[in-house]
Amino acid sequence: MRVLVLMGGDSAERKVSLDSGRAVAKALRTAGHEAVEVDTDFQLKQPSEEITSPPVDRESHQSGASEALVVRRKLALKAFGLSSISPPDVAFLAFHGGLGENGGIQAFLEMAGIPYTGSGILASAIGMDKHISKMIFQQIGVKTPRWLFIDRTEPSGSSHLVNRVGDIIGFPCIVKPNNQGSTIGVSVVEDQGELKSAIELANKYGGGIVVEEYVPGRDLTVAILDQEALPVIEICPKHRIYDYECKYTGGMSEYVVPAKIRDSTEKEIRSQALKVYRALRCEGYGRVDFRFSPDGDLFCLEVNTLPGMTETSLLPKAAKAAGIEFPELVDRIVRLAYVKGSKRGWTLPKGC
């Protein structure tokens, strides 16, 4: 299949996205697909496709519905500055954060009739909103750390805010942007004196702020592929939390796959992960992160609808533990997207 690998963009997680996109493109080629890498930062020069034979006007031979689909896809490619590239069969979304993960690009691709990997518009938007996600966790009976949502317009150092955090959440606590990933803008706040600067840091990323109870314990994560929970991974960071440095600097974290937990705990965490994943209407693949307290309680932190996709990222690690090598993993993700698109009538006629 012809696969458009969309990556980069202008989010704070741009570098991580580029790493994922390049790894995905390489694996897709290994799996026998034609992969075209596209950085969606519109300021950059985009790749073009060599024309090896005279163009053939195939569109005139298609039905009205097929003609419309071809036109929609060409318009979408034009918007990306890719007018010379033939319409793809599938778009692989290697984004992290921003419009690429919050439903924006998903809506664009749906209007274009291009099948795309991962979750749809609604699940993507909810997954990027930590406050709304946690409300859903609570509604379906899945524990999540206590939290406060703070509007970005609220004064960061007001005594009212400091007292609210102290009374409802307590210290230490976690302060994070409501709609960022990769632990960008996240702080561990030990006392009232550190709260103002932590809120100001999180506020730089917009979308509000979440102040969350700090839960001591172990970091566990469950990757999901096609409605199946993969082996549980335990993350052992060098820092107090699994922050940006621990995620993306070699040697700053260790990973235990599968996690050394009781069978009953493994069964429960996989069940909770699927429950959350389905409640948010996620599709294709994703990852659900938990904190496992010393008392044996599981706390769901968040759902990642477009998790990292380098060979050493968490989802590929879990897949490998289940006997799925990286090229097979990306191939399965692409085929899931293609099947979903086919059900919606988004399959191009051969030759287009």
Question: Which distant-in-sequence residues (6+ apart) come within 8 Å of 37 by Cβ?
Answer: 5, 7, 21, 22, 25, 47
Tell me which residue has tokens 């929609």: 72
What's the distance, CA 156 to chain centroid? 29
Taking residue 234's Cβ as centre, other Cβ atoms within 10 Å add up to: 17
Q: Measuring CA to CA, which residue among 290, 278, 280, 287 is closest to residue 306?
A: 287
Which residues are catalytically annotated? 13, 182, 248, 287, 289, 302, 304, 308
What's the distance, CA 294 to chain centroid? 28
End-to-end CA distance of the chain: 12
The amino acid at residue 233 is I
Read off φ and ψ for residue 177, nearest 5 degrees. -65, 145
Pairwise CA distance, residues 121 & 109, whole Å = 10
